[in-house]
Amino acid sequence: MAIKAGSLVDACSTRITKTGAWRTFVPQFDHDKCIKCSLCEIYCPEGCIHQVDGLFVPDLDYCKGCSVCANECPRMAITMVLEEK
């Protein structure tokens, strides 16, 4: 889908355009520390964290590496690490 310059785009528009390719940091989840509180999923501004087989995982095609999930995690189970390209 092409987006024209000057167009209005809905919030969470990454579902239309994959934006994960330009990030510098990526969230790394420590599933042993995770208490499954869902705060990472709730606060992710792009809605790209979902529970899969009982574990929360980011969809890296849409994750911008903003670190909101890591900042909201009460158990510090998410760390932001430099993405290897």
**pLDDT of res. 1:** 54
Res 9 pLDDT > 60: no
Average pLDDT over residues 54-77: 96
**pLDDT of res. 83:** 92
Three-state SS for the chain is CCCCCCCCCCCCHHHCCCCHHHCCEEEEECCCCCCCCCHHHHHCCCCCEEEECCEEEECCCCCCCCCHHHHHCCCCCEEEEECCC
pTM, entire model: 0.78
- 12-30: per-residue pLDDT in tens? 555 567 777 788 999 999 9
Q: Which domains does the chain have, with CATH numbers?
A: 27-82 (3.30.70.20)
